[in-house]
C-alpha cells in the first residue's frame, strides 16, 4: 500500500472537503478523488459519505484514519532516522505545519521562517492563520504540528502548552481623536473609555475578549460600540482615520506610533499577553518541528 494514498485520505478526513485537501496537497481535485477511490478499492471499504457540503468519515473510515495516522507518523520517524544517519547529508529536513493568530503571523513569524531557511534550508514551514479554538482542534486531529496561542491560561485536554514569551499590548487612537486631546490633562478612566467606539480583532482573540469584558463592566448602562475585524490592517486603518480606538499588540502598531499616525491613549495600562507554544502531548515531534520550536524564542521579546 502506498503511503501517498494514506496521506491523501488523512488530509481529506482532516479538512472534510476534497477541494481544500487538494489545495493543501498541491494536487488537482480529480487526483485527490482518484486516490481516495483507489484506497477504498484496495481496502474494500467505503471511507467517506459524500454529502453536498463535503465528505464525512464513515464508521470504518474513522477506524482506518487512526491506523493511517500511525503509519504516517512511523514513516516520518523512519525518514528522520535516515536523515540523522546521513541519508540526507546529516541535515534536518521535513515539513512543519504551524498555526498562529494574525497578531503573530504578520509581525513575528516572517522573521522566524527567514532565519530557519538560513539555518535549515531543508525544512519547509506550512503556515496557517488560526484562532485558539481552531488551532487546538487541528492539533488534536493531527492537521497541525505546532501552534502559537495568545492565551494567559492555556489548559486544554491532550495539548501541552509552554509559555514562550510575552507580547505587550497598547490602547491606541488617532492623534486627533478627542480622547487623545482630553487625556493630555488627565488620563482617560474606564468610565470614559466605555463611551468610545472600538475597532477590535475578531471574536476569539483572547486579549480583545478580555478588554470587552472590562469595558462592559465599566459601562454603567451605556453600551460601547464595538466593531470586530478578522483583519488587523482594517482595525488599524479605522483607528488611524479617527473613527475610534483599538487594543492591539504593540508590535503590530510600532511603525504607526513612530510615524505619528497613531498615539497611545493615556489611561489604563494592560498586562502583556502570553505567547504559548502548543503541541499534542501524545504525537511525535519531528526533528524539523523541534528545530522550529528552538528557533521561535529568538524572535520574541525576552
Q: What is the block-wise mean pLDDT of the chain (302 residues), using blocks of 10 residues? A: 87 87 87 93 92 89 88 77 58 88 90 94 90 87 89 90 95 92 74 91 85 85 84 92 95 94 90 94 87 93 74
Q: Which SS3 state, helix, strand or coil, does residue 216 take?
A: helix
Enter the C-alpha cell of residue 18: 476534497
Give the angle subtended at the CA of 198 by the CAs of 194 and 201, to the nearest 5°. Answer: 125
pLDDT for the residue 166 = 94
Name the CATH superfamily for 92-165+273-302: Periplasmic binding protein-like II (3.40.190.10)
| Confidence (pLDDT) at 78 | 78
Query: Is the pTM of the predicted complex or chain greater than 0.85?
Result: no
Name the CATH code of domain 169-271 (choices 3.30.470.10, 3.40.190.10, 3.40.630.10, 3.40.47.10). 3.40.190.10
Which ranges in the chain are annotated with CATH 3.40.190.10? 92-165+273-302, 169-271
Which pLDDT score is estimated for 180?
A: 87
CA proximity to 221, closest of 197, 245, 194: 194
Which part of the chain has CATH 1.10.10.10?
1-90
pLDDT of residue 82: 65
Q: In 3-state terms, what secondary structure has residue 154? A: coil
- For the segment(s) 1-90, the CATH number from 1.10.10.10, 3.30.70.100, 3.60.15.10, 1.10.579.10 is 1.10.10.10
Of 17, 38, 39, which Cα lies nearest the Cα of 29? Answer: 17
DSSP strand pairing (94-100 vs 123-129): parallel
Closest Cα partner for 5 from 72, 59, 53? Answer: 72
Q: What is the pLDDT of residue 282?
A: 82
Q: What pLDDT was estimated at residue 20? A: 86
Q: What pLDDT, on a 0 to 100 scale, did the predictor assign at position 28?
A: 92
**Grid coordinates standing for 75?**
514513516
Q: Is the distance from CB of 228 to CB of 202 less than 8 angstroms?
A: yes
Q: What is the pLDDT of residue 48?
A: 92
pLDDT confidence of residue 200: 93
Helix 109-119 crosses helix 287-295 at what angle (to 10 degrees)?
120
Reported as a single tens digit per residue, the pLDDT across 40-68 is 999 999 999 988 888 999 999 999 998 88
Beta pairing class for 169-173 and 159-167: unpaired
Can you give the pLDDT at residue 154? 87
Cα Rg, the chain, nearest whole Å: 23
CA–CA distances in Å: residue 170 to residues 53, 55, 245: 41, 44, 10
Using alpha carbons only, give the angle 208, 214, 215 rounded to the nearest 5 degrees. Answer: 85
SS (H, E, C) 46-99: CCEEEECCEEEECHHHHHHHHHHHHHHHHHHHHHHHHHHHHHCCCCCCEEEEEE
Instruction: Specify whether the CB–CB gap between 149 and 132 falls below 8 A.
Output: yes
Adjacency order of strands within the sheet including 263-264:
246-249, 169-173, 263-264
Amino acid at each position: 500500500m502506498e503511503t501517498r494514498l494514506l496521506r491523501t485520505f488523512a488530509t481529506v478526513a482532516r479538512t472534510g472537503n476534497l477541494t481544500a485537501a487538494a489545495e493543501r496537497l498541491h494536487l488537482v481535485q480529480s487526483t485527490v478523488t482518484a486516490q481516495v477511490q483507489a484506497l477504498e478499492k484496495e481496502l474494500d471499504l467505503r471511507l467517506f459519505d459524500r454529502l453536498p457540503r463535503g465528505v464525512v468519515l464513515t464508521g470504518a473510515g474513522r477506524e482506518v484514519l487512526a491506523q493511517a495516522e500511525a503509519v504516517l507518523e512511523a514513516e516520518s520517524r523512519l525518514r528522520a532516522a535516515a536523515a540523522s544517519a546521513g541519508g540526507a547529508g546529516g541535515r534536518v529536513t521535513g515539513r512543519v505545519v504551524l498555526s498562529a493568530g494574525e497578531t503573530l503571523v504578520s509581525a513575528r513569524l516572517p522573521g522566524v521562517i527567514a532565519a530557519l531557511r538560513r539555518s535549515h534550508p531543508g525544512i519547509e514551514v506550512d503556515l496557517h492563520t488560526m484562532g485558539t479554538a481552531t488551532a487546538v482542534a487541528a492539533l488534536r486531529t493531527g492537521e497541525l504540528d505546532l501552534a502559537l496561542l495568545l492565551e494567559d491560561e492555556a489548559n486544554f485536554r491532550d495539548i501541552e502548552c509552554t509559555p514562550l514569551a510575552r507580547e505587550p499590548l497598547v490602547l491606541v487612537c488617532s492623534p486627533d481623536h478627542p480622547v487623545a486631546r482630553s487625556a493630555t490633562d488627565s488620563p482617560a478612566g474606564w468610565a470614559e473609555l466605555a463611551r468610545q467606539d472600538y475597532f477590535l480583532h475578531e471574536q476569539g482573540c483572547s486579549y480583545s475578549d478580555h478588554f470587552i469584558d472590562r469595558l462592559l463592566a465599566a459601562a454603567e448602562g451605556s453600551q460601547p460600540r464595538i466593531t470586530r475585524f478578522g483583519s488587523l490592517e482594517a482595525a488599524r486603518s479605522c483607528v488611524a482615520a479617527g473613527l475610534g480606538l483599538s487594543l492591539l499588540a504593540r508590535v503590530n502598531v510600532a511603525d504607526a506610533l513612530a510615524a505619528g499616525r497613531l498615539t497611545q491613549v493615556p489611561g489604563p495600562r494592560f498586562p502583556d499577553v502570553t505567547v504559548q507554544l502548543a503541541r499534542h502531548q501524545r504525537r511525535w515531534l519531528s526533528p524539523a518541528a523541534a528545530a522550529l520550536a528552538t528557533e521561535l524564542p529568538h524572535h520574541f521579546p525576552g
